[in-house]
Chains A and B, each alone.
Chain A
């Protein structure tokens, strides 16, 4: 990280060293970027290691508790197992919060990374004028931007992938029935490839906004709004990323599927014509059967994603997010090429 922590007093005659370096100066740009954000890089590395160690211990404790109290056999399919069992309550008390808040942290890390790229990495350089120093050396502004994109992208690919893998690994040790608030559909943003893809998108958005706005705080604000809007868009698209499973029934289905952790997308009535009436309005205190009668319906339907859809959904969303990130990054390169020679 600190590739060039004060090289003492370089002696005259280091010209040779300069010549020997050769190349295009890209390595120099990488070193400059790391040196400029040395404190942040060390802090990020420290946080990463702390979280990884924490997750390893958390998982060990979870596995131990589950094995001791046989929660893995008792709480697999029965979603309500926790409320009647002292062991499950103890499990919830001990592991619910650590797991939940670690997950939240991972969920918000992409945004934090995007804000960092937009503000301190690019916006501040444009605002303070130091870009004039960097861009008038032997490297072009476009290459400078490419390095500013690549360094955080590599950090994300390495660090966040590791963190997300560790979290997913810990999360898998939790018996389905014990922590309903950590079901896959609710922990979706912290699992697997999605946080990594979101973070890559945040890096690209941060770079583009930072370059366009040229002010530290304004760039961070702009990134917050733009990235949040994009993620909101991805999240609204998410249920449609792969086909849902539809269940038809005469009785109104509950909002909880039998297998417990399914992700209910939509519930409603099926009209006599065969059309769908999603979430019909029946008025307060009306029996489901009367409700169906009111709407002239023949039965109910329930669209849901079973837990087996998790990875299909994840990879599809990650693919879209990475494609968006690539487009945004290309837009920022286009912008810098168009604006500056």
Chain B
């Protein structure tokens, strides 16, 4: 919305030692990361990793139990921040008795001065929906479509999407994703998408936040994170991991028969006769999801930049 969005140093989300509870369980513990503005960030992690809790805290629906989270430079839920953040909850809540048109008109009434009816209607049309259809009579996928249109109509600077595509069919998912990315690119919206569907993230997200067990495991530009890793394959018949890997950080190593496949963070050239490739995003994520104990990797752009005085919880 503002020209400031285009400054590379602007921060959309920034957490230091963030903790939050969900149903008396510590869902987030000591989360520290930063998401620069203007990125499309994938938020990945196993079930119960704290993805939804993180998004709910950022949306101002839940108070953190410790640490700090700054959203667009302010506190979540602050009157100056609230109008600039849109959030789509996992269950896509909408009023079932409202028609699509009434739902959008509610969006306009609740976001005075911000609402963009044309954008919202364009996304509704993308899903082939009638404006006069009652929300309660729509299928799950169609409701998702309305909910996405509602979130985008607010013209947010930061869009938080919790499992947005889970009940869309592949065709609709493709169409909605493309429409979403086009809108996001046009307005330089920062998007954070929590998702299980790793394939839908490939090619759309340029930033990555992997959390497991309430902690950040990976954070940074997708490109940088991928190039920091190598997928190593080769014949190996001994027990344990090859000695020549000792100099590197092994994220995960598996042996199938005589074939060894390892995801490693090389600290220099890898010796030995191995087939070395750059992992795909999906391979990178799967490797880290399988090995929750692997050391975290936080790219420099994902380090919080809050003044140190504010780091105290």
The complex places the Cα of A239 from the Cα of B107 at a distance, in Å, of 52
Q: Are B110 and A341 in contact (CB under 8 A)?
A: no
Given contacts A15-B117, A18-B108, A19-B113, is CB(A136)–CB(B59) below 8 Å?
A: yes
Question: B97 and A7: CB pair below 8 A?
Answer: no
Instruction: Using A13-B118, A18-B117 as known contacts, say yes or no to A29 and B110 having CB atoms under 8 A apart.
Output: yes
- Please determine whether A6 and B101 come into contact, CB atoms closer than 8 angstroms: yes
Interface size class of A (residues with CB under 8 A): 35 or more
User: Looking across the interface, which residue of chain A has its beta carbon closest to that of B132?
Assistant: A6
A23–B112 touching, CB < 8 Å: yes
Asked if A136 and B61 sit within 8 Å, CB to CB, the answer is yes
A139–B109 alpha-carbon span in the complex (Å): 10
Contact with B along A137-177 (1 / 0, CB 8 A): 11110000000000000000000000000000000000000
Q: How many A-B residue pairs have CB under 8 A?
A: 139
A129 to B56, CA, bound (A): 12
How far apart sit A136 and B162, CA to CA, in the bound complex (Å)?
A: 14
CA distance A309 to B79 in the complex (A): 50
> Considering the chains assembled together, what is the distance between the CA atoms of A340 and B62 in angstroms?
6
Q: How far is the CA of A9 from the CA of B120 in the complex (A)?
A: 13
The residue from A10, A133, A140 contacting B121, defined by CB atoms under 8 A apart: A10
Contact B61 A132 (CB under 8 A): yes
Asked if B83 contacts A133 (CB within 8 A), the reply is no
The reply to whether the CB of A285 lies closer than 8 angstroms to some CB of chain B is no
Given contacts A14-B108, A136-B61, contact A36 B79 (CB under 8 A): no
A200 to B113, CA, bound (A): 34
Kindly name the residue among B93, B108, B109 whose own CB sees the greatest number of chain A CB atoms within 10 A. B109
A133 to chain B, nearest CB (A): 5
The residue that B112 contacts in the complex, of A4, A7, A25, with Cβ under 8 A, is: A25
The smallest beta-carbon distance between B167 and chain A, in angstroms, is: 15
Q: What's the Cα separation between A18 and B113 when bound, in Å? A: 5
A15 to B119, CA, bound (A): 10
Q: Which parts of A23-62 form the interface with B (CB within 8 Å)?
A: 23-25, 27-29, 31-32, 35-36
Does the CB pair B115–A15 fall under 8 Å? yes
Against A, the Cβ 8 Å flags (1 = close, 0 = not) of B115-148 are: 1111001100000000110000000000000000
B116 touches A18 (CB 8 A): yes
Contact B105 A4 (CB under 8 A): yes
Give which listed residue, B78, B86, B91, contacts A136 with CB less than 8 A. Answer: B86
Q: Separation in Å of the A89 CB from the closest CB of chain B?
A: 51
Cβ of B175 < 8 Å from any Cβ of A?
Answer: no
Q: Cα distance A12–B116 when bound, in Å?
A: 9
Query: Could you tell me the distance between the alpha carbons of A36 and B168 in the complex, rounded to whole angstroms?
Result: 27
Contact across chains for B132 and A137 when beta carbons are under 8 A apart:
no
Question: What's the nearest-Cβ distance from chain B to residue A98, in Å?
Answer: 36
Rounded to whole angstroms, the CA-CA distance of A238 and B106 in the bound complex is: 45
A134 to B79, CA, bound (A): 14
Nearest residue, chain A, Cβ from B115: A18
Q: Is the CB of B109 within 8 A of A6?
A: no
- Quick check: is A315 within 8 A (CB to CB) of the other chain? no
Report the minimum CB–CB distance from A262 to chain B (whole Å).
Answer: 52
- Residues from chain A with a CB closer than 8 A to the CB of B83 are 137-138
CB within 8 A of A9: which of B87, B93, B115, B131? B131
- In the bound complex, residues from chain A placing their C-beta under 8 Å from that of B110 are 25, 28-29, 32, 134, 137-139
Nearest chain A residue, comparing its CB with the CB of B79:
A140
Q: When A and B form their complex, which 8 residue pairs have the shortest distance between CB atoms, in order from nearest?
A: A28-B109, A341-B77, A137-B110, A18-B115, A138-B83, A14-B117, A12-B118, A129-B93
Can you list 19 pairs linking A and B with CB atoms under 8 Å apart?
A6-B99, A7-B105, A9-B131, A10-B104, A14-B108, A27-B112, A28-B110, A28-B111, A31-B106, A32-B110, A130-B94, A132-B89, A133-B89, A136-B85, A137-B82, A138-B112, A140-B79, A340-B77, A341-B60
Interface residues in chain A, defined as those with a beta carbon under 8 Å from any beta carbon in chain B? 4, 6-10, 12-15, 17-19, 21-25, 27-29, 31-32, 35-36, 128-140, 339-341
